[in-house]
Amino acid sequence: MEFLASPELWIAFATLLLLEIVLGIDNVVFISILAGRLPEHQQARARTIGLSLALITRLLLLASLSWVIGLTAPLFTVLGQEISGRDLILLLGGAFLLGKATYEIHEHLEGSDHGGAGKKAASFGSVIVQILILDVVFSLDSVITAVGMVDELFIMVAAVVIAMVIMLVSVGVISDFVNKHPTVKMLALSFLLLIGGSLIAEGLDQHIPKGYVYGPIAFSIFVEFLNLRAKSRRKRQEATPVHLHPTYVKDGQQRAGASTGAGASTGPATEASTEAEPVK
């Protein structure tokens, strides 16, 4: 009841929910790209399993907050830089994300199959393992963000669960849209490069505000949306037949019209001349 009567808790819940959705989009994009390499009849199942694993991972991390908080304790020092368990996970996850996104971009640009059979080369098990690895990284980032924003475990769990339900509902639409438009897929892979770099920076204790990362991403999405609208409009214009009105009359019609006009103009004159002859 205290939650229902406290505006501060409602504001914290709404803010955390929005942030969890934004952080979850990274997860959805990566899962969509990986699932796109599977046969079509397995893609939906892979996306559902991937997001379900992401939800389970987040809930397990929330249930062991003391362990999560303990991950921030330094384990060792390298070149004067203290490295904690959280830093290690972010560094390894960021490196994996950079490598995977780079590989996907190379396949997309230089692959000999041009998106054909190569997309179905991956096995279902390998895709699920890759999804699980990134689920751990994204879940850790998400949970640490939640811990830093609110103190109530109930609010954290509610925000995480609702955000993941929204992702489960929208993952099919997002995946189809990303895989249908090659430029959007390339943009999404570029986002993963950016996010991987930010994870590595976070692992080195170089904090990058989320707005600096997601602001350019949002602007790029807006520009790509305008490009897609312009492309769709051009296609509609090309598909619409153009009816032109004839500017010139055909030669036969022009001669017929001229002779008709001449006959009409000479007719009254001839009659007038025949009527005028008796007078002369």
pLDDT at position 271 is: 46
Max CA distance (Å), the chain? 134
Q: Kindly state whether residue 151 falls inside one of the protein's structural domains.
A: yes
Q: Kindly state whether residue 264 falls inside one of the protein's structural domains.
A: no
Between 177 and 241, the higher pLDDT residue? 177
Task: Give the DSSP letter of residue 245.
Answer: P
Q: Domain range spanning residue 45? A: 8-239
Give dist(CA 180, CA 175) in Å, integer. Answer: 8
pLDDT at position 278 is: 52
Q: Kindly state whether residue 179 falls inside one of the protein's structural domains.
A: yes
**What is the CB-side half-sphere exposure of residue 232 using CA atoms within 13 A?**
7
Q: Kindly state whether residue 142 falls inside one of the protein's structural domains.
A: yes
Q: How many angstroms from the chain centroid is the CA of residue 94? A: 20
Does pTM top 0.75 for this prediction?
no
**What is the CB-side half-sphere exposure of residue 53 using CA atoms within 13 A?**
21
Q: Kindly state whether residue 250 falls inside one of the protein's structural domains.
A: no
- Beta-strand (E) ranges in the chain? 74-78, 81-84
How many domains does the chain contain in total?
A: 1
Rounded to 5°, the CA angle 26-28-30 comes to 70
Per residue in 6-36, pLDDT (tens digit) is 777 777 778 778 877 877 777 788 888 888 8
Per residue in 88-123, pLDDT (tens digit) is 888 888 888 888 888 888 887 776 544 444 444 578
Q: Kindly state whether residue 82 falls inside one of the protein's structural domains.
A: yes
Q: Kindly state whether residue 266 falls inside one of the protein's structural domains.
A: no
Phi, psi at residue 165, to the nearest 5°?
Answer: -65, -40
Own/partner long-range contacts of 154-160 (Cβ < 8 Å, ≥24 apart): 154/3, 155/3, 155/9, 155/12, 155/13, 155/16, 156/16, 156/62, 157/59, 157/62, 158/13, 159/13, 159/16, 159/17, 159/20, 160/20, 160/55, 160/58, 160/59, 160/62
Q: Kindly state whether residue 140 falls inside one of the protein's structural domains.
A: yes
pLDDT at position 276 is: 47
pLDDT at position 280 is: 46
